[in-house]
Chain A
Amino acid sequence: MPTILIDGNPYEVAEGRNVLQAALDHKLDLPYFCWHPAMGSVGACRLCAVKHYRDENDEHGRLAMGCMTPATEGTRVAIDEPEAAQFRRSVIEWLMINHPHDCPVCDEGGECHLQDMTVMTGHAHRRYRGRKRTYRNQYLGPLIHHEMNRCIQCYRCVRFYVDHSGGHDLGVFASRDRVYFGRVEEGALESPFSGNLVEVCPTGVFTDKTYRRHYARKWDLQSAPSICGHCGLGCNTLVGARYGSVRRVANRYNSEVNGYWLCDRGRFGYEHVNADDRLLKPQTPRRDGDELSVSAGRVWDEAIAAIRVTAATGKLAAVGSPRASLESNFALLTLVGAERFCTGIAEPERRLVGRFAHAARAGAFHVPTLQEIEGCDVILVLGADLTHEAPLLDLALFRAHAAAGAAIHLVGLRAGRVGEFAASFESGDPGSIATRGRAVAAGLRADGGEDPVAAVLAAAHCPLVITGTQHRDAEVLEASLAIVEALRARNGTHPWFAMSVSEANTLGVELLDDRRGMSLASVIDAIEVGDISVLVVAENDLFERCEDHRRLADALQRLDALVVLDHMVTATSSLATHAFPAATIPESSGTLVNSEGRIQRFCQVLRPAEDVVPSWSATRDIIAAIGRAEDADWQHLEDVTAAIEASHPAFDGATKLAPALGFQLEHQPISRVGHRYSGRNATIRPDAPDEPDALTEVGGLGPDGALPVAPRTPGWNSNEAINRFRIEVDGPLRGDNPGLRIFATNGNGAHPAPSPLDPGRSPAAATPSALDTPRSTAAATPSGDDDTVLVCAAAEIFGSESMSRRGPALAELAPDTYLRLHPKRAERLGVVEGRAYRLRLIGETFETSLEAVVKVDDELPDNVAVIPAGYAETRWWQQPTWMRLESVEVEP
């Protein structure tokens, strides 16, 4: 390691670093603007000037930019040197020529990197006496507010938006001191990563428009480390709340997961927590009109009575949820027993998840982190639309392409954003995607020769196969696994494979269930034959999991009692006999498992409204109330986590993801100390939840094992303070706890190549239903019937996810319900692009209707119709289904 001299003191620095990085590595205060740990040095702002001396005899030195000066052996620089200090002060003075003095009304105030740097350089007096430059701001959509007058032209915004993440519609315009960052014309920013502008901008040019509506200063926010619940990637977030509502979500750096970034669904999806349609009081929805007259106590007593009686007869069952914590699902499982527990994932998706989790647990492949994916050189995406299913995977692919020239090959229903930089795209329905995948596998087995994609994969240094779950097609997964297996056989190394899953805890609940429980269809079967008379459903809308809504509604209405715990009013909660409000992720603590098999803890940010409790604690109270208190002797979340650890070896270590309950600093209870020192102090003290100061403001970072909270140290109030909490900039955090990976890791051949995949070992549900039989997508369309198409659903980043779409900002960006068809098919059906139709969709086992705008798309296969996944009108969709389309009426 080279040793360099800064202000006469020797410092050891890592190989290949520059003077600015070296100074920050050693926690020296060297101001900067345009440098960013992920985006590198460009030398534009000139703030990190130091005195650079040629050698030990050089007495005068010359000014040089720290970020542009390599820190090689013997490099001699001075930060604390009059001319350098004067120059840095001048840089701020020049920037202040035009920067408005509007800090008091600026959203960035208090966490502004420009404020910090101004103070750090000592600039206090501006001698410029002319007028300030003014700009016209742009409307950039519902997420980002634009205030160009504050711009200090560090170019970070376009470097992130265009160079780093592949966006197109933000640019640099004009020149001299009139440089402008914006769009060619006003309009919503098109990149799904636009929210990161808020964080890369060192001042208040790009600010969070949703935060603006209920703004609070950073120091007034209660913040706690959380996990994004809006897709399966488990990005780390920092949620800020005040006065009982969530105010914003910011990135929480995790060196192995999301790095510095979040997607817009993750950042702005929080609005559902504050939404008006929250379920906030115990209710009896089936009894029309008299909800208000029923006291919370009476709802509880009735529900308990129903459950107690049924538990004795064995006709009690429970449905958990892939969007609820491990603890909440485990509590339900404890209530009803493993055999009467259903994960709440519909069987078509569950088959894929189970197969993937099973193979990953067995070590059949390595599931790479997002950071690892950025280093792959050939990536095949089979049947996944990553931009919409798992947006940060799209970003990882772009990074792999842009930074390392990775070749990305797509086979899927639509190319999406990844298609813009992919080396190839082949369009097909799920059946032909699987066929294509098997051809690639065959090509690899036969040395790749004929098949171009197989040839590229065969020659790759670090190949990766990614698939998704959105088509719910087991054949696509099997084809992907066949490619993975062919790569393993070919290279003799541990192949890399990733699968995007749709929800925050899909893998967790699947591993918790261990395939001993009921499928959702078998729950309905059992209700219909009277085998289940009371059903408890936690944080799940069964109407999103079941295609025959008529049959589901009938079944639910047959129940003696349907007890629903949820934070949203849903179609299921509306049919409940008893509905209880559950806490959202920011309102509770718990454990989630992401699509990469990483167990992560989220911490409670704010105290929910009265009557709102986490599902696990409501379930614990039910267990106690029916006389089985000893089965759920849990006082705190940690007790539930420990019970999970004890019964499920897969989750071993989950209790160590956060400081232990009694964790103290310097003999003081953490939550009471003003010392901002731990993730723990920002959460509600579980041992004293009613203490008025149990909630404290923004915390710092803890010692080993603690979860990082909003970084802040004296002089560094913005998110740039993150560099103070790392061993070296852009490295892991000190005392980093990036979560626990439960799948076998290491793909560099250090592991012995595992045994080949055994397709016969895919487990089946213990209690299958006739409906659980996979429906073939390859089945030929009924002969001669031109109106029959394979109805597929496409994930939409804004709109398909059940929680985030309830917020007004993202709802505005969600496309209208559509039906996408090949132009020939549209012509045959007599429907026209851009017009709204009321459609009947008739399948073999059920039928439904849909109001949708028709879009024609000549990239689509002729035999396919695509609807958006997960919309209120399309949530019945569970798997590709041959259906006859009838357009019933044309709306004017």
Chain B
Amino acid sequence: MAEITPVLTRHIVEGNPPLDLAGYRAVGGYESLRVAVETMSPDEVREVVKESNLRGRGGAGFPTGVKWGFVPQGPDSPRPKYIIANGDEMEPGTFKDRLLIHGNPHQLIEAMIIAAWALQADVGYIFLRPEYEAGAHLLESAIEEAHAAGLLGDNVLESRWSFELHAHISAGRYICGEETALMNALEGRRPNPRSRPPYPAIAGLWGKPTIVQNIETLVCLPHIVANGAGWFRHLGLTEDSGTKLYCVSGMVEHPGNYELPIGVTLRELIYEHCGGMRDGRDFKAALPGGASTMFMSPDELDTPLDFTNLEKAGNRLGTAGVIVVDQDTSIVGMVLNLMHFFAQESCGWCTPCREGLPWIEDLLRDLVEGRGRKGDSRLLGHEMRMIGPNSFCALALGAEGPLLSALEKFPEEFEAYVTNVPDPTASIEAAPATVTEVGS
């Protein structure tokens, strides 16, 4: 069993209210901020973050330090610059940011100020899904405390640098977690994603340089500043850095949040930390990082759950929202449930996602409800491969993960649903010469 060294969740105690400013300071809170602002230049902070190999915890795993390097710096660079904490957290199976927001709001605020210092940002927003209303209130009072203590606002810690921070509750859609849609939502527009280029680091919120980071990514910052890049790199069990909050749900004995060194294997996570499969059932599959990742089968139980190894395996760590499936759960039914989610959460901007995903859902429902036809599996795969990579944003690409991996790893489950309805389409690639059936 891996050594458990909680870092991000160290001061979060279940059942207790979160630490207030005094309490947080008593455990060393805001010390990193002081170190950063008083002893380090913004360049140095960016450098240590880059060295730490911190990768984005929101799903994409993009190296934070590299992203920060795209923000124009210097006296002639555009102002204001923005830093946004993405607390939309709507990926199914993911509930880690919720814990960090509600459990230790000052840690997040300190992290935001450090990031803002590093980027020389002027304004920050913590963007929250509407269900985190209680968290927003906690953040607002924490922001007020920080303000009063001179940690926010004009002349932060006498540095002659100013930073304002706001908590914003969104109206709530999955797409708001997409950083450009999030910025549209913040601007009061419809949350459709924007096209890139320009990238947010160059022209983001209101056309100004903007960095959007996941909450968990941000809260790593005070610890990196306090303990150094090398320490952070060594926290991981593999070549990836830091600890990771694994959100485990599904058929395990003890679902919940587990902060573990990044790189534990799926087997360790389930059988050592989560008490094994519920009621001794058999493990059938798991999604390692929320709904937008690929199913892992029993032969992948020893794969380390980190960015690098999962990418090697053709999968993604995503948000590390691990959804565990047992022998009695229908993969097709689960995929239908997930596709319903993706179809439901399409913003409606581009054709493949808007029209294609509901059709995918429809085909799966036909299967599950006994109207499936021979060839439907092939049609599902074919359509999904057309939709996923060719949509405007990554939403449909996310939907591709569970469907295509399920089709690949559990084809017999799909075939089992097929009834004897004849297939009217001779070929799915080419239109038949005569049209025999055109639907309703």
Q: Which residues of A contact B (CB under 8 A)?
A: 42-47, 49, 62-63, 68, 86-87, 90-91, 94-95, 97-98, 101, 122-132, 152-153, 155, 172, 174-179
Q: Is B313 an interface residue (CB 8 A)?
A: no
Q: From DSSP, what is the main secondary structure of chain A's interface residues?
A: loop
A-B residue pairs in contact (CB < 8 Å), sample of 13 = A63-B389, A63-B390, A94-B351, A97-B358, A125-B432, A128-B359, A128-B362, A130-B359, A152-B351, A155-B349, A172-B190, A175-B173, A175-B345
Whether A42 and B195, one on each chain, are in contact in the complex, defined by CB atoms closer than 8 angstroms, is yes
Distance in angstroms between the alpha carbons of A62 and B439 in the assembled complex: 32
Q: Is B431 an interface residue (CB 8 A)?
A: yes
Whether B390 and A97, one on each chain, are in contact in the complex, defined by CB atoms closer than 8 angstroms, is no
Whether A124 and B355, one on each chain, are in contact in the complex, defined by CB atoms closer than 8 angstroms, is no
Whether B348 and A130, one on each chain, are in contact in the complex, defined by CB atoms closer than 8 angstroms, is no
Whether A175 and B355, one on each chain, are in contact in the complex, defined by CB atoms closer than 8 angstroms, is no
Residues of chain B lying within 8 A (CB to CB) of residue A44: 349-351, 392
Taking the nearest CB of chain B, how far is it from the CB of A63, in angstroms? Answer: 5
Whether A153 and B354, one on each chain, are in contact in the complex, defined by CB atoms closer than 8 angstroms, is yes
Whether B392 and A43, one on each chain, are in contact in the complex, defined by CB atoms closer than 8 angstroms, is yes
The verdict on A130 contacting B351 (CB below 8 Å), with A90-B386, A125-B432 known, is no
Specify which of A95, A127, A128 is in contact with B351 (CB 8 Å cutoff): A95
Q: A94-B356, A95-B351, A97-B355 are in contact. List 14 more A-B contacts (CB 8 A).
A: A43-B350, A43-B392, A46-B390, A47-B351, A87-B386, A94-B355, A95-B355, A101-B438, A122-B431, A124-B435, A129-B440, A130-B362, A175-B347, A176-B348
Q: What is the size, in residues, of chain B's interface with A at 8 Å between Cβ atoms?
A: 39
Taking the nearest CB of chain A, how far is it from the CB of B196, in angstroms? Answer: 10
Residues of chain B lying within 8 A (CB to CB) of residue A178: 348
Q: Is B343 an interface residue (CB 8 A)?
A: yes
Distance in angstroms between the alpha carbons of A605 and B348 in the assembled complex: 43
Residues of chain A lying within 8 A (CB to CB) of residue B195: 42-43, 68
Whether B348 and A127, one on each chain, are in contact in the complex, defined by CB atoms closer than 8 angstroms, is no
Distance in angstroms between the alpha carbons of A42 and B425 in the assembled complex: 34
Q: Is B346 an interface residue (CB 8 A)?
A: yes
Whether A177 and B346, one on each chain, are in contact in the complex, defined by CB atoms closer than 8 angstroms, is yes
Residues of chain B lying within 8 A (CB to CB) of residue A131: 440
Residues of chain A lying within 8 A (CB to CB) of residue B366: 129
From 425 to 439 in chain B, residues with beta carbon under 8 angstroms from any chain A beta carbon are: 425, 428-429, 431-432, 435, 437-439
Interface string of B333-364 (1 = CB under 8 A from A): 00000000001111111111011111100100
Whether A176 and B358, one on each chain, are in contact in the complex, defined by CB atoms closer than 8 angstroms, is yes
Q: Is B379 an interface residue (CB 8 A)?
A: yes
Residues of chain B lying within 8 A (CB to CB) of residue A122: 431
Distance in angstroms between the alpha carbons of A889 and B149 in the assembled complex: 71
Q: Which 9 A-B pairs have the closest CB atoms?
A: A94-B355, A179-B348, A125-B431, A176-B346, A124-B431, A175-B348, A130-B362, A177-B358, A129-B439
Distance in angstroms between the alpha carbons of A130 and B362 in the assembled complex: 7
Interface string of B193-205 (1 = CB under 8 A from A): 0010000000000
Whether A177 and B352, one on each chain, are in contact in the complex, defined by CB atoms closer than 8 angstroms, is no
Distance in angstroms between the alpha carbons of A246 and B95 in the assembled complex: 64
Closest to A68 in B: B195
Residues of chain B lying within 8 A (CB to CB) of residue A90: 352, 383, 386
Whether B354 and A126, one on each chain, are in contact in the complex, defined by CB atoms closer than 8 angstroms, is no
Number of A-B contacts (CB under 8 A): 103
Distance in angstroms between the alpha carbons of A177 and B438 in the assembled complex: 20
Q: Is B303 an interface residue (CB 8 A)?
A: no
Whether B438 and A176, one on each chain, are in contact in the complex, defined by CB atoms closer than 8 angstroms, is no
Distance in angstroms between the alpha carbons of A177 and B386 in the assembled complex: 18
Distance in angstroms between the alpha carbons of A822 and B351 in the assembled complex: 52
Q: Determine which residue in B195, B350, B429 has the highest number of CB atoms from chain A within 10 A of its CB, and name it.
A: B350
Specify which of A127, A152, A177 is in contact with B425 (CB 8 Å cutoff): A127
Distance in angstroms between the alpha carbons of A87 and B383 in the assembled complex: 10
Distance in angstroms between the alpha carbons of A804 and B282 in the assembled complex: 78
Whether A177 and B439, one on each chain, are in contact in the complex, defined by CB atoms closer than 8 angstroms, is no
Taking the nearest CB of chain A, how far is it from the CB of B228, in angstroms? Answer: 40
Residues of chain A lying within 8 A (CB to CB) of residue B352: 46, 90-91, 94
Whether B354 and A130, one on each chain, are in contact in the complex, defined by CB atoms closer than 8 angstroms, is no
Q: Is B238 an interface residue (CB 8 A)?
A: no
Residues of chain A lying within 8 A (CB to CB) of residue B358: 97, 176-177
Residues of chain B lying within 8 A (CB to CB) of residue A43: 195, 350, 392
Taking the nearest CB of chain B, how far is it from the CB of A52, in angstroms? Answer: 12
Distance in angstroms between the alpha carbons of A174 and B354 in the assembled complex: 12
Residues of chain A lying within 8 A (CB to CB) of residue B350: 43-46
Distance in angstroms between the alpha carbons of A90 and B429 in the assembled complex: 10
Taking the nearest CB of chain B, how far is it from the CB of A216, in angstroms? Answer: 29
Distance in angstroms between the alpha carbons of A79 and B399 in the assembled complex: 28
Taking the nearest CB of chain B, how far is it from the CB of A158, in angstroms? Answer: 9
Whether B391 and A46, one on each chain, are in contact in the complex, defined by CB atoms closer than 8 angstroms, is yes
Closest to B435 in A: A125
Closest to A33 in B: B351
Distance in angstroms between the alpha carbons of A98 and B354 in the assembled complex: 11
Whether B346 and A175, one on each chain, are in contact in the complex, defined by CB atoms closer than 8 angstroms, is yes
Distance in angstroms between the alpha carbons of A739 and B435 in the assembled complex: 51
Residues of chain A lying within 8 A (CB to CB) of residue B362: 128, 130
Taking the nearest CB of chain B, how far is it from the CB of A295, in angstroms? Answer: 62
Taking the nearest CB of chain A, how far is it from the CB of B167, in angstroms? Answer: 25
The verdict on A153 contacting B351 (CB below 8 Å), with A125-B431, A130-B362, A132-B440 known, is yes
Closest to A122 in B: B431
Residues of chain A lying within 8 A (CB to CB) of residue B437: 129
Taking the nearest CB of chain B, how far is it from the CB of A499, in angstroms? Answer: 37
From 212 to 249 in chain B, residues with beta carbon under 8 angstroms from any chain A beta carbon are: none
Closest to B375 in A: A127
From 158 to 198 in chain B, residues with beta carbon under 8 angstroms from any chain A beta carbon are: 173, 175, 190, 195
Residues of chain B lying within 8 A (CB to CB) of residue A68: 195
Taking the nearest CB of chain B, how far is it from the CB of A155, in angstroms? Answer: 8
From 382 to 400 in chain B, residues with beta carbon under 8 angstroms from any chain A beta carbon are: 383, 386, 389-392
Taking the nearest CB of chain A, how far is it from the CB of B381, in angstroms? Answer: 14
Residues of chain B lying within 8 A (CB to CB) of residue A45: 350-351
Residues of chain B lying within 8 A (CB to CB) of residue A95: 351, 355
From 407 to 440 in chain B, residues with beta carbon under 8 angstroms from any chain A beta carbon are: 425, 428-429, 431-432, 435, 437-440
